[in-house]
Structure 1
């Protein structure tokens, strides 16, 4: 802008030096002054726009910082909640495993109690009871008895039932009383 003003000034000076009349010099000076004031207004307007732009830039940066801070806080809360969920999951799994162990112990205790009852029972009575239940359940009960007791009871059972139970026992020696409920 200053260069333009300087060029205009030099141009006007040249016109005055060449001997043009004073009226045209006065007109040139007036034009120069008008143009100078327009340029100064443009400069002021540009400065105001520059300041507004700087203020907007600062406001945007501040807003961005606030949003980043909020985002970091939310991310931290999510991490904390995730950690709590993991702890709850871990505790639940531990409780589940303990309960499974308890159920297994209860099942073993029931099987032991049942097998003890059949061990104490006379072979003929045990055979009669086992003949009247499903072969699968009978096989489960017999699988928890000692081999000698199984042989004595099966000798007194219906031969067809004893044969079927023997097949079941030979297929799966780890029968569980809970599998037929």
Structure 2
């Protein structure tokens, strides 16, 4: 029985040696893998830092671009407001000039009509016959009907008929 016990003891020692060799190999493999994982972790950490730096740089660049864009938009809005203001001023000046032109035309026609009303009918008929039709009609419209009638009696009947037709429109 002793032999069996010794044999058992030897067998278990042998098994223990093999197991310890396997444990030693496993520990060695785990240590190698741990080293590899630490290197990989360090590489990932460096990439993470690089990405964070890139993110911060991109955000700063976007902020600068947005600030510049906002500044340009503000400048454009200012110019647009100035242009609108100038456009309104030009429109007001144009309207004022139209009114002045109308008053000048009215004053001019008033003076012309006074001149023609003071002229003798024959002289007025001669002058109006030689004028462009539109101008003659404008002058005749400003005169009193009695004066127009006297001028037509002294004018060529064809020209008088044409002017009468234009006055009727």
**Distance 1:126-1:38 versus aligned 2 partners, 3 A rule:** same
Once residues 131 and 33 of structure 1 are traced to their aligned partners in structure 2, the CA distance between those partners, rounded to angstroms, is 123
Once residues 32 and 41 of structure 1 are traced to their aligned partners in structure 2, the CA distance between those partners, rounded to angstroms, is 14
**Shift of residue 93, structure 1, vs aligned partner:** 0.8
**Shift of residue 20, structure 1, vs aligned partner:** 4.5
Normalising by the residue count of structure 1, what TM-score does the alignment of the two structures yield? 0.77
Aligned partner of 2:86 in structure 1 is 88
Cα RMSD of the aligned pairs, angstroms, is 1.8
Once residues 26 and 139 of structure 2 are traced to their aligned partners in structure 1, the CA distance between those partners, rounded to angstroms, is 125
Aligned partner of 2:16 in structure 1 is 19
Q: Which runs of 5+ in 2 are unaligned?
A: 1-14
**Shift of residue 117, structure 1, vs aligned partner:** 0.6
After superposition, the C-alpha distances for 1:26-52 in whole angstroms (9 at most, x for unaligned) are 333322222211111111111111111
Q: Which runs of 5+ in 1 are unaligned?
A: 1-17, 172-181
User: Which protein is bigger by CA-based radius of gyration?
Assistant: 2
Equivalent of residue 36 in structure 1, options 24, 34, 37: 34
Provide the aligned length of Structure 1 versus Structure 2. Answer: 154
Normalising by the residue count of structure 2, what TM-score does the alignment of the two structures yield? 0.82
